[in-house]
């Protein structure tokens, strides 16, 4: 079945450093979504990417969808302590079908 | 997570006991999902529903049953709880294309 893999599993950075997490799917995706989960909280939707090669930005966050629609990345510029949490990618093979989540990348930031 | 309410928030069960987790939404959305989250395993889909009266299996359905008798409610049942079902359970609704999650139910089976 469809698998979504994320690396790294954990990342620790100093405040102000950049951070990137990568997501790879075993199959071509219809779309990919990113979520953030703060410690003790629930996942919160960040963004959806649909088009091949798509790049979207949200302030210091940059999201990319690969040309083959099988991989994606989230890059955070100049991390802040508020960026702490676990970032999940999630994809579906067909629009409207249930999302399959990656295992997440847990980001810790020290000031 | 306004609009998606999970009850209870915490529960401790003994092996073999049964229970039902309730997810309620007030947004009139068709699609609802149950995920479980375990350390290092991410979110795994248990069951989902694309509308009132419909349910379907996800990645890890064994040991669970679901019902969607009313559009607003999606119930997750454990007929005979096992320690392997100790987890945090999240319900979600699809809102436009993103998912809105409830605050979760932390279940411990001893």
pLDDT in tens, B55-104: 999 999 999 999 999 999 999 999 999 999 999 999 999 988 899 999 99
Report residue B85: phi and psi, to 5°: -95, 5
Enter the tokens of residue A89.
């990618």
Cβ-based neighbour number of residue B29 at 10 Å: 18
Q: Name which of A59-68, B1-10, B25-34 the model is least confident about.
A: B1-10
Contact B99 A43 (CB under 8 A): yes
Q: How far apart are CA B59 and CA B94, in angstroms?
A: 18
Contact B33 A9 (CB under 8 A): no
Among B42, B61, B87, B106, the residue to mutate for chain A (most A Cβ within 10 A):
B42
pLDDT score of A93: 87
pLDDT tier for residue B2 given thresholds of 50, 70 and 90: low
Q: What is the mean pLDDT of chain B?
A: 95
Cβ-based neighbour number of residue B30 at 10 Å: 14
Cβ-based neighbour number of residue B52 at 10 Å: 14
Smallest Cβ distance to B43: which of A31, A43, A48?
A: A43
Dihedral, CA of residue A92, residue A98, residue A99 and residue A101, to nearest 10 = -120
Per-residue pLDDT averaged across A29-38, rounded? 97
pLDDT score of B66: 98
pLDDT of B27 higher than 90 = no
Contact B99 A33 (CB under 8 A): yes
pLDDT tier for residue A52 given thresholds of 50, 70 and 90: very high
DSSP 8-class letter at B84: G
pLDDT score of B48: 96
pLDDT score of B96: 83
What share of chain B has pLDDT > 90, as a percent? Answer: 89
pLDDT of B16 higher than 70 = yes
Per-residue pLDDT averaged across A78-102, rounded? 93
Interface residue ranges in chain B relative to chain A, Cβ cutoff 8 Å: 1, 31, 33, 35, 40-45, 48, 56, 58-59, 90, 92, 97-104
CB proximity A103 to B under 8 Å: yes
Smallest Cβ distance to A88: which of B43, B48, B103?
A: B43
Q: How far apart are CA B6 and CA B21, in angstroms?
A: 7
pLDDT of B41 higher than 60 = yes
Chain B residue numbers with beta carbons less than 8 Å from the beta carbon of A87 are: none
Contact B102 A44 (CB under 8 A): no
């Amino acid at each position: 079945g469809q698998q979504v893999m994320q690396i790294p599993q954990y990342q620790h950075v100093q405040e102000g450093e950049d951070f990137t997490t990568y997501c790879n799917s075993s199959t071509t995706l219809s779309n990919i979504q990113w979520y953030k989960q703060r410690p003790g909280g629930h996942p919160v939707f960040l963004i959806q990417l649909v088009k091949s090669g798509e790049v979207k930005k949200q302030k210091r966050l940059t999201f990319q969808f690969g040309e083959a629609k099988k991989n994606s990345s989230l890059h955070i510029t100049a991390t802040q302590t508020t960026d702490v949490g676990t970032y999940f990618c999630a994809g579906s093979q067909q629009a409207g079908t249930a999302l399959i989540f990656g295992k997440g990348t847990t980001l810790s930031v020290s000031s | 997570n306004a609009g998606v309410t999970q009850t209870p928030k915490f529960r401790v069960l003994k092996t073999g006991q049964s229970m039902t987790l309730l997810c309620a939404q007030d947004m009139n959305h068709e699609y609802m999902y149950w995920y479980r989250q375990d350390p290092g395993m991410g979110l795994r889909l248990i069951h989902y529903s694309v509308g009132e009266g419909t349910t379907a299996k996800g990645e890890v359905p064994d040991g669970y049953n679901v019902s969607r008798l009313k559009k607003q409610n999606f119930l997750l049942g454990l007929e005979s709880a096992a320690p392997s079902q100790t987890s945090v359970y999240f319900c979600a609704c699809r809102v436009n294309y993103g998912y809105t999650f409830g605050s979760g139910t932390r279940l411990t089976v001893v």
